Structure 1
């Protein structure tokens, strides 16, 4: 990677750990969530920690004694986290008191979706479960066939109006009625193709994006597409391969591809605006957006900011040498990331024009990844 001239000032404001050395071996990142100025982070050893967004102070810590795997989901009242042995835990956001736990027949590798009416969660056996927020009892479930070979991961459900949307390992997106779970529509984003099981991988392992009456989805070895929320009709598609997913920002759509390109598309038409190749083979996380920038982590622990309008690299900081697998979380001008060892870092981001002149310095190039490292 070549040096860059920063256009943003990035200042680390705090860092804290969830004491999670096991995760770096497994390469399974546990995503953060932010709600009501609190950051919620989980560790594979079973801890769930609430941090103050501004200071990083630990507000409470809960112990599940379970191998956590799905990352956190949070609302103003509720915090959820799932485990690799099929348990879903619900905690009170105010103080970390456990409200309930349920056991589902399948690993939970993605965060749940929360609304006042239900909680939606995917399991690796191809099932979409809807649960009661009050006590976790099952309201309904839907199931899709799981291919014999699939990527390690599942898509996070998304609740949009009266629908629950979710992608599956067979390359399909399903929309279920929130009330009874009846299928409103399903659409194939990535039709499996090829002779071998490896060639036919078509997983949708990331949450769909929803903007108004439009749904956006991307699959592995396939395409990114826009669908109608009410019918599932595909309006446009653009060739792309991603297992990290897509991010919406105003009238744009941003995708981190499987090989490390970052692509910006017009949301309404799918027309490509720019393509940044400076981060090829860096094992990118899912993207996040803030103000005029796109934010992404990589396998060497760097966080990169790209200019929204051009894709040019705008800033870069290191959080250490451990992979960042999950998406950065943006809260105002604060960006919070967690690496695969459970180290949480929060950064304040401001335009460089507002920063002291002494901060306007070139950022040295990051080491080029070896073929072995980027795997």
Structure 2
């Protein structure tokens, strides 16, 4: 029997830490705002060729110009969603709560396929293929043109798996996917394994305590991929060789951001920490946002950006952790990991607010 857990706060979680006054060290402003329906699933915003593609609970999928917010197309899937959005700019895929993989082209539904297991990780669309990783860790590949099933990769599953977004991303000609506490590199043409790298060693006296599944998003910097193992570790691997470069014990339930200098992560109490990407040496820690249910971070320029449960977006200096900017949205929780297209940064709130910011 497969049981699933969602990494979320319990009822005994302390109140969010009140925000202290902040004198901005950099300038930035909201450049556009749009609205869609409410969002309760783990939305991943797709970024391709200057276009943001988003979706809401009801099955509305919307493509917008990143620079202006102008609508390019919208589509109604016709069912509530559990995962999305994956897009390569031509094909766009989401997964419904009834385990249907739905792929659109130019805002029209192209095909639907039934999936055998629940999915909470956004599909990956690449190389005219659509890839899906399910909660039971099975990986499925479909032809993006007609939905034809190409292959399935399935390894023995544990008694308890984590129902939280995993890692599913391309690296050159390799498909990288989370498999328990490991990252696996698969051949995207046939689904065979090329390499496997361990992020953490599960510990504990029961199945819940031993949960150490890889959680997304992961961050790629050239040949290095950095990711988090649920409540266990942050680690970086060489994706060319499939070898672990370093791993550090670090509790947390969300993915990480990185650039060529730092890896940034948020732990289970919303402490923000940075490690040097070269060797994992701790660089700084910030405790000013404890219990504010932070998003996974985005590292952009020389800043790390996170959103919180009250709809605030926070910028920290990448090298020091100093708070440099704070901007509001609609007051509801930031639901998506911040994403960027060029200089435009987008966050999406649980009430369906799309807020685009740009530095000045």
In structure 2, what is the equivalent of residue 17 of structure 1? Answer: 35
- Following superposition, the deviation at residue 219 of structure 1 comes to 0.8
**Pair 1:347-2:357 in alignment:** yes
SS in 2 for 1:263: strand
Which residue of 2 is the match for residue 292 of structure 1?
A: 302
Contact 1:83 1:107 in 2 (8 A): no
CA contact (8 A) 2:122 2:165 kept: no
Aligned to 1:369: none
Report if the CA contact (8 A) 2:93-2:130 is conserved.
no
Q: Return the alpha-carbon distance in structure 2 between the equivalents of residues 182 and 275 of structure 1.
A: 40
1:96 partnered with 2:114: no
Distance 1:140 1:39 in 2: 29
TM-score (norm 2): 0.89
Aligned with 2:244 (options 224, 230, 234): 234
Q: Distance in 2 between matches of 1:294 and 1:40?
A: 22
Residues 1:202 and 2:220 are matched in the alignment: no
Measured in 2, the distance between the counterparts of 1:89 and 1:306 equals 38
Query: Structure 1 residue 332: deviation in Å?
Result: 2.0
Residues 265-284 of structure 1 aligned to structure 2 (within 5 Å): 265-284=275-294
Q: CA RMSD in A?
A: 1.9
Once the two structures are TM-superposed, the CA of residue 63 in structure 1 deviates from its matched residue by 0.7
Question: How far did 1:106 drift?
Answer: 1.7
TM-score, length-normalised on structure 1?
Answer: 0.86
2:198 alignment counterpart: 188
Contiguous gaps of at least 5 residues in structure 1? 351-375
1:117 CA drift (Å): 4.8
Q: What does 1:262-341 correspond to in 2, within 5 Å?
A: 262-341=272-351
- Does residue 146 of structure 2 align to residue 135 of structure 1? yes
Q: Secondary structure, in 3 states, of the residue corresponding to 1:8?
A: coil
8 A Cα contact 1:29 1:339, kept in partner: no
How far did 1:288 drift?
A: 0.8
Cα 1:323–1:151 shift into 2, 3 Å: farther
Matched residues in 2 for 1:322 and 1:29: separation? 15
Q: 1:167 aligns with which of 168, 174, 178?
A: 178
Paired residues of 1:29 and 1:324 also in contact (CA < 8 A): no
In 2, Cα distance between equivalents of 1:53 and 1:214: 27
Note the alpha carbon deviations across 1:108-134, whole angstroms, 9 max, x for none: 212122222532211112211122222
Per-residue CA deviations over 1:326-354 (Å, capped at 9, x if unaligned) read 2111122211110122211111222xxxx
User: Matched residues in 2 for 1:144 and 1:222: separation?
Assistant: 22
Q: Match of 2:59?
A: 46
**Is 2:67 the counterpart of 1:57?**
no
Partner Cα separation in structure 1 for residue 118 and residue 169 of structure 2:
18
Q: How many residues align?
A: 342
Deviation at 1:295, TM superposition (A): 0.8
| Cα distance, 1:58–1:213 mapped onto 2, change above 3 Å | closer
Contact 1:203/1:243, CA 8 A, preserved across alignment: no
Contact 2:42 2:165 in 1 (8 A): no
Mapped contact 2:29–2:357 kept (Cα < 8 A): yes
Match of 1:69 among 77, 82, 85: 82
Q: Given that residues 91 and 103 in structure 2 are in contact (C-alpha distance below 8 angstroms), is that contact kept between their aligned partners in structure 1?
A: yes
Tell me how far apart the structure 2 counterparts of residues 179 and 46 of structure 1 sit (CA, whole Å): 30
TM-superposed CA distance for 1:210, in Å, is 3.0
**Aligned-pair distance for 1:19?**
2.0
* 1:208 counterpart SS class: strand
Moved more, 110-119 or 60-69: 110-119
Tell me how far apart the structure 1 counterparts of residues 218 and 327 of structure 2 sit (CA, whole Å): 28
